[in-house]
């Protein structure tokens, strides 16, 4: 059984070795020009406007987490949509209850004010 996974383990080992070797080659052969711009807060060419220690509002993280949760729920709906005809009415009831639970969560979040930016 384990011999079936040998090619996968070999590929993972080769990929890890390649990544480590390339990182070391870059470290040895790469340019080493140190200057103040290199160590500034942003390296995109724009001057930093604020401190990097500034705190973000909790609503920023709430919206991000909600986006991920509802996005993943859509991923669960895709296989259902593909096999909808084979599942029949019972599949429809299960997905309707799933969507109902999602809508309850969305309503709760909306009433708590997590989606409002002040």
Instruction: Flag whether 31 is in a domain.
Output: yes
Instruction: Flag whether 15 is in a domain.
Output: yes
Angle at 16 between CA 10 and CA 21, to 5 degrees: 125
Distance between CA atoms of residues 64 and 116, nearest Å: 13
Check pLDDT > 80 for residue 108: yes
CB 40, CB 48: distance < 8 Å: yes
pLDDT tens, position by position, 3-22: 889 999 999 999 999 999 99
Residues spanned by the domain of 61 = 2-112
Q: What pLDDT sits at residue 47?
A: 67
Other CB atoms within 10 Å distance of the CB of residue 66: 15
Query: Secondary structure of the chain in the HEC alphabet?
Result: CHHHHHHHHHHHHHHHHHHHHHHHHHHHHCCCCCCCCCCCCCCCCCCCCCCCCCCCCHHHHHHHHHHHHHHHHHHHHHHHHHCHHHHHHHHHHHHHHHHHHHHHHHHHHHHHCCCCCC
Q: What pLDDT sits at residue 38?
A: 67
pLDDT tens, position by position, 37-85: 666 666 566 666 766 677 777 777 888 888 888 888 888 888 888 998 8
Check pLDDT > 80 for residue 88: yes
Q: Give me 15's structure tokens.
A: 């990929």
Residues of the chain with pLDDT > 70, as a percent, come to 86
Instruction: Flag whether 118 is in a domain.
Output: no
Q: How many domains does the chain have?
A: 1
Instruction: Flag whether 117 is in a domain.
Output: no
Residue 65 belongs to a domain with what CATH number?
1.20.58
């Amino acid at each position: 059984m384990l011999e079936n996974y040998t090619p996968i383990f070999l590929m993972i080992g080769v990929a890890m070795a390649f990544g480590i070797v390339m990182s070391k080659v870059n470290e040895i052969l790469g340019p080493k020009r140190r200057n103040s711009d290199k160590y500034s807060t942003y390296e995109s060419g724009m001057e930093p406007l604020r401190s990097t220690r500034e705190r973000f509002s909790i609503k920023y993280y709430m919206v991000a987490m909600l986006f991920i949760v509802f996005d993943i729920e859509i991923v669960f709906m895709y296989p259902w949509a593909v096999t909808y005809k084979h599942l029949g009415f019972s599949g429809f009831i299960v997905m309707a209850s799933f969507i109902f639970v999602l809508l309850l969560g969305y309503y709760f979040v909306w009433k708590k004010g997590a989606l409002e930016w002040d």
